[in-house]
Amino acid sequence: MSLPDHIAQKIHALRAALREHNYKYYVLAEPSISDLEFDQQLKALQDLEQAYPEAYDPDSPTQKVGGEINKQFATFEHEFPMLSLGNTYSEAELLEFDKRIQKQLGHTNYQYVCELKFDGLSISLHYDNGQLIRAVTRGDGVKGDVVTDNVKTIQSLNSRLQAPYPEKIELRGEVFMHRPAFDRLNMEREEAGEPLYANPRNVASGTLKLQDSAEVAKRPLDIFLYQLLEHKPTINTHYESLQSIRQWGLPCSNNTQLCNSIQAVFDYIKHWDEARKLLTYDIDGVVVKINDYHQREELGYTAKSPRWAIAYKFKTEAACTPLLSIDYQVGRTGAITPVANLQSVFLLGTTVKRASLHNANEIERLDLRVGDYVYVEKGGEIIPKITGVDLSKRSDQSIKVAFITHCPECGTTLIRQAGEAQHYCPNELNCPPQVIGKIQHFIHRKAMDINGLGDETVELLYQAGLLKSIADLYDLSYEQVIQLDRMADKSSSQLIESIQASKQVPYQRVLFGLGIRYVGETVAKKLAATFKHIDALKAASKEALLAVDEIGERIADSIVEYFQSDLHCQMIERLKAAGLCLENTAEAPVQLSDKLQGKIIVISGVFTQFSRDEIKAMVEQHGGKNAGSISAKTHYVVAGENMGPAKLEKAKQLNIPILSEADFLALIQA
């Protein structure tokens, strides 16, 4: 059945708009529409794709949500070893490299291709007949981990090539994260009371090894491809291959340059050593490659690296400046973070006055003294860091920094749990930054989403003595709010209305808003699905919590500790009395039969009579359990059109029965 033109146009427009919104949200960290508007557009696209299965596209925004869970990654031996490159930090060594090329080739008739050296994670992609069938990490260069399901969640990567394309190809590239997206991710972790990530590269690397691809999809990864590998080459030069990769609809950097001389290479390096400050992602150098593939063959390889390529590494920009003092900041969870105050110094385009010292261990490692001249670097880090001390400039009278013993805000004695690097202030109910931070977290758009109540207004209400805990929000009156500075009649009325409206926010978001340490948005959803009422969660043992998918020791201990506090329990009783939703009201599926009792079923592909969600609901209605990935425990795979080849292959290897839509319906109707 052909797709009506007006439907095809509508689907195309929705996909284009959603891709643009994803880019603005994830990469630029500048969302142009609300979460609600985005969800509405996504739902409209999902409805159209379900109504018109012939419009299925594996690269639609609706298909980039993951869902596969791998308890153990398979390994795959690279057909072409993933070798490392030789490095240089000087123009003199780069000139030596050029002389060796000239000597080996016996002439100067060669070109270089210069590329940015992305600071991410190397990946190998295998396409058969235009379809992505395998994604493999570098590993040890000989074997890597198969992370196909995780890589497919990357928004910019097409799982299907645009024709014409070779029958079988391998592509190499770099998975990375844009800095604005990294900053947003760290902000969300801070709100959840979780440790912050050090840099985008570490996040990208760790994300690709997550077991749940649905979680990977929530991390804003991106990818650039920079190398084509073929058993029977159809292209003669590297620069041409990059043009082909673009024509196949795959992401390539636009900052690659063809250079006819070593001087042109130097000009490229000089330009990007400065211009890298303007990029949204991190680079740590430039890769220089011979363009012609026949010349590459002539030049050959060493045991570890190709002779036809070299990486020029930028020097990490650093400065030496006096340490003036150390401040100690108190976070929402009570975590104490030392911050170094420095004499102003210019680094990578910005003036640096402060640098995080992370914790007491870092101060001890550096053996810091106030007045020391310290080395400060930015490098791949977003936040400046102190890397060392110039001991030759240290005063004989300097005194070693001793970490504070009492909270700088409320004076409470700090605690430090065994095995943890962080100090904490335990006075969570009366320490101002903690109280204010918890309320600011509670009103966050992903929690209670209370419009008209921003961070500054929370501080204003706290200073006025009207807010001492999140439960106090529901005792506020118009008469109290109107008395505050900058609060007019309309804004006061809207604030009270928004607070009342937040009582309709579902249980899982209220749970997230409570600010239990380590309970982020995703963990809150899993807890709400398992413990249907707040009282059930309160009564849950550590063992019961550990039985929930992805709940580990640290999270379980934190939840148990939270509900052991009488003050927390009293606050929750106040929230109950105020009418907040503290139970999961989603209806349980109606049980029609037990024909699938004890059966684990995987649904994959696109169906004609029912949507995937409808078939999943039928599985539960007949006593079965849905699973996202195939394992030895799977009893059936219900396969529709365009079922993933990896899933199909795995099901066959494990001899798992594969049912069509008609087979499944016959099974439950028998």
User: Of residues 579 and 19, which shows the higher confidence score?
Assistant: 579
Domain 75-313, architecture per CATH: 2-Layer Sandwich (3.30)
How much of the chain exceeds pLDDT 90, in percent? 45
The Cα–Cα gap between 633 and 656 comes to 9
- Residue 602 is inside which H or E element, if any? strand 600-604
3 state SS of 141: coil
Whole-structure pTM value: 0.53
Residue 471 is given by DSSP the state G
The Cα–Cα gap between 599 and 215 comes to 25
CATH numeric code, 432-578: 1.10.150.20
Contact 646, 614 (CB under 8 A): no
Binning the chain into helix, strand and coil, the percentages to the nearest 5 are: 40, 20, 40
pLDDT at 549 over 90: no
User: Of residues 106 and 83, which shows the higher confidence score?
Assistant: 106
Distances (CA, A) of 102 to 110, 180, 598: 9, 43, 69
pLDDT bin (cut points 50, 70, 90) of residue 98 is: very high
- How many CA within 13 A on the CB side of residue 596? 29
pLDDT number for residue 294: 92
Choice among 24, 71, 117, 385 that is catalytic: 117
- Which residues fall within 8 angstroms of residue 228, CB to CB, at 6 or more apart? 169, 170, 171, 235, 241, 242, 244, 245
pLDDT bin (cut points 50, 70, 90) of residue 478 is: very high
pLDDT number for residue 380: 47
pLDDT bin (cut points 50, 70, 90) of residue 588 is: low
Distances (CA, A) of 259 to 36, 109, 114, 249, 263: 48, 12, 7, 25, 8
Q: Which fold has domain 5-63?
A: Helix Hairpins (1.10.287)
The mean of the pLDDT values for the chain is 86
In DSSP terms, 285 is beta-bridged to 117, 313
Domain 316-425, architecture per CATH: Beta Barrel (2.40)
- Domain residues of the chain, as ranges? 5-63, 75-313, 316-425, 432-578, 600-669
pLDDT bin (cut points 50, 70, 90) of residue 72 is: low
Q: Are strands 309-313 and 87-88 parallel, antiparallel or unpaired?
A: parallel
How much of the chain exceeds pLDDT 70, in percent? 91
Contact 248, 132 (CB under 8 A): no
**Is residue 152 annotated as part of the catalytic site, yes or no?**
no
CATH numeric code, 600-669: 3.40.50.10190
- Tens digits of residue pLDDT in 157-186: 999 999 999 989 999 999 999 988 888 888
- Tens digits of residue pLDDT in 518-541: 898 878 888 998 899 999 999 999
- SS3 assignment for 260-315: CCHHHHHHHHHHHHHHHHHCCCCEEEEEEEECEHHHHHHHCECCCCECCEEEEECC
Contact 447, 510 (CB under 8 A): yes
| Low-confidence winner among 376-380, 460-464, 502-506, 634-638 (lowest mean pLDDT) | 376-380
3 state SS of 400: strand
pLDDT at 381 over 60: no
Residue-level length of the chain? 670
pLDDT at 18 over 60: yes
Highest mean pLDDT, choosing among 22-31, 276-285, 344-353: 276-285
